Amino acid sequence: MALILHRALNQLSGLPRRVSAAFWLQSGACAVVAWTLLHGGTAVAPAARTVADNASAGSMEATSSAPGMPAHPASAPPPSSSMQLVAPPGPAAEQPALSTTDVIVTPNDTLDHIFRRLKLNLADLASLRSLPGMRAHLDSLRPGESLHFTHKDGALFGLECRLNESQTLKVSREPSGLKADVLQNPLETRSRTVRGVIDHSLFEAVAAAGANDQTAVALADIFGWDIDFVLDVRPGDAFVLTYDQIWRDGAYLKDGPIQAAAFVNHGREFRAVRYTDPEGGSHYYTPEGRSLHKAFLRAPVDFTRVSSRFNSARWHPILNRIRAHQGVDYAAPLGTPVRAAGDGRIRFAGRKGGYGNLVEIEHSSSVMTVYGHLSRFAKETRVGTHVTQGKVIAYVGMTGLATGPHLHYEYRVNGVFKNPQTVILPGAAPIDARWRVDFLARSAPLLASLDAQPGPMLVSR
């Protein structure tokens, strides 16, 4: 090393006297390095910038050095400061990702069963059920609803489920434990008017207009006391209806109730408007305030066809002789629910001759309805039991003198048989006089919507 230093000094002494400052700096640095290595000084850290680098870059950083000590850049801490070189940290250890599982509730499912299937900690379920108001929500699971679980290593970190159309239950894990919140999802109601003409069926015409099957069913229910939508509807019949659409978070959810409707059947127009009275009851009325609800259903069963009409001189298919058919036979699949045509009390429920299994209902001192050829009775169908209109009382069968599954239905007034399809049915009470002014004011714009000229917005979703 002494020889290297000696040669360097000789080179310096032989150079011209006017040389650049960079040259002198580089030469000085070489001398310092040589001196340090010769005397066993501290090695220079590879990451440190050399004075030569600074000089070549035109840097004006000042350096200070002493024998046995490395040179420090001006930006480094002063020599008197203690420094500890720490290696840069490596990549942080990744936390295991949370697992998510969606569960569709099946019949007879409980949250306890679901927790056990997913191998979740039952202590978390106990904590969840102990939260205020949570037990009722968690114990009312409905088949078909979806539950979204977030978990890790058996611990529950999150749970989401929809309580109803406007509320969502959200469970999350916080440092203090599980927390549950009920989030509100506000519903938006939009009014929509559609119209159509029937070519083949009411359902096809309503669908072509842009509404759903449930709206077609509602339309048939509104006018069902005046129009037989199985037998009386013909091609060319027309309808117009104004109904609500329910939206949530900007997305269409479902059709709401019909607010006003008109139906033209065989050239005769029927109109209806929905009114909710101050006591919360909602019913359909004519524009004049007469109730469309009748005291009796025109047909107490969903049937596929009328297999035998009211006829005073019908040839009986089993007895092979002329015998009056004093009711209407509605053909329907075995087990189809049969409903009470009106409010009343069950006078008879049992087996009776050619009727097979039979139910008789007294509706007043003068009116009685009869339901025959039943396969079985509903659980609460017993003599003396009061029933309301539409309540299921039995199921379609073919007991007694029957060649196929159907309901034999009779309507009697003071013991006299009347044709159920043509008899004038008594109506329900009209709008309460106390609310008539409010009814007229609120129904006017709804009825006016039925007369509005159709436009592109009326049939677009």
pLDDT the model gives residue 238: 93
- Cα–Cα distance measured from residue 423 to residue 241, given in angstroms and rounded to the nearest whole number: 28
Q: What is residue 90's predicted lDDT score, i.e. its pLDDT?
A: 44
Listed in order, the ranges of the chain carrying CATH 3.10.450.350 are 99-184
Q: What is the DSSP letter of 17?
A: S
- Beta carbons within 10 angstroms of residue 232's beta carbon: 14
Q: Please report which confidence band the pLDDT of residue 371 belongs to, taking 50, 70 and 90 as the band edges.
A: very high
Q: Which residues have C-beta within 8 Å of that of residue 21, sequence separation ≥ 6?
A: 55
- Tell me the pLDDT band of 326, cut-offs 50, 70 and 90: confident
pLDDT value at 319 more than 80: no
Least confident of 134-143, 190-199, 349-358: 134-143
Least confident of 6-20, 200-214, 345-359: 6-20
Res 438 pLDDT > 80: yes
Residue pair 71/63 in contact by the 8 Å Cβ criterion: yes
Per mean pLDDT, which of 110-114, 248-252, 424-428 is the most reliable? 110-114
| pLDDT score at 31 | 65
Q: Assess contact for 116 and 123: CB atoms under 8 A.
A: no
CA distance 416 to 420: 12
* Residue in 399, 376, 379, 398 with CA at minimum distance from that of residue 387: 379
Q: Report phi then psi at 223, rounded to 5.
A: -100, 10
* Residue 407 DSSP SS3: strand
129, 138 Cβ separation under 8 angstroms: yes
260 touches 241 (CB < 8 A): yes
CB 357 within 8 A of CB 399: yes
- The predicted-structure confidence for 297-306, as pLDDT tens digits, reads as follows 888 888 767 8
Query: What is residue 271's predicted lDDT score, i.e. its pLDDT?
Result: 94
Q: Please report where in the chains the tokens 């290696």 appear, as a residue.
A: 87
**What does the pLDDT look like over 58-106, one tens digit per residue?**
433 333 334 444 444 444 444 433 333 334 444 444 455 888 888 898 8
Give the percent of the chain with pLDDT over 70: 74
- Measured CA to CA, the distance from residue 278 to residue 117 in angstroms comes to 49
Which pLDDT score is estimated for 108?
83
Two tokens, residue 314: 């019908």
Please say if the pLDDT value at position 55 is more than 80. Answer: no
- The reported pLDDT for the residue numbered 351 is 94
The pLDDT value given to residue 446? 92
Residue range 264-276: average pLDDT? 91
Q: What is the mean pLDDT of residues 426-436?
A: 83
Mean pLDDT, the chain, whole residue set? 77
Residue 9: pLDDT above 60?
Answer: no
Question: Residue 267 and residue 238: Cα distance in Å, rounded?
Answer: 9
CATH architecture observed for domain 99-184: Roll (3.10)
pLDDT at 366 over 80: yes
| Interval 379-430: pLDDT, tens | 999 999 999 888 999 999 999 888 889 999 999 998 888 888 888 887 777 8
CA end-to-end span of the chain: 92
How far is the C-alpha of 274 from the C-alpha of 261, rounded, in Å?
Answer: 9
Ranges of CATH 2.70.70.10 domains, the chain = 305-418
Q: Which two tokens stand for residue 173?
A: 């894990």
3-state secondary structure of 161: strand
| Predicted confidence (pLDDT) per residue in 143-193, tens digit | 888 889 999 888 899 888 888 777 788 888 888 888 888 878 788 888 999
Nearest to 153 by CA among 192, 183, 124, 128: 124
pLDDT for the residue 401: 82
Residue 335 confidence class, pLDDT cut points 50, 70, 90:
very high
Residue with tokens 């109109």: 271
Least confident segment among 136-150, 353-367, 420-434, 446-460: 446-460
CB-CB contact of 421 with 386 (8 Å): no
Residues 274, 297: Cα–Cα separation, whole Å:
19
pLDDT band with cut points at 50, 70 and 90 for residue 30: low
Confidence of residue 12 (pLDDT cuts 50, 70, 90): very low
pLDDT of residue 40: 53
Cα 171 from Cα 148, distance rounded (Å):
10
The mean pLDDT value for 450-457 works out to 62
CATH number, span 305-418 = 2.70.70.10
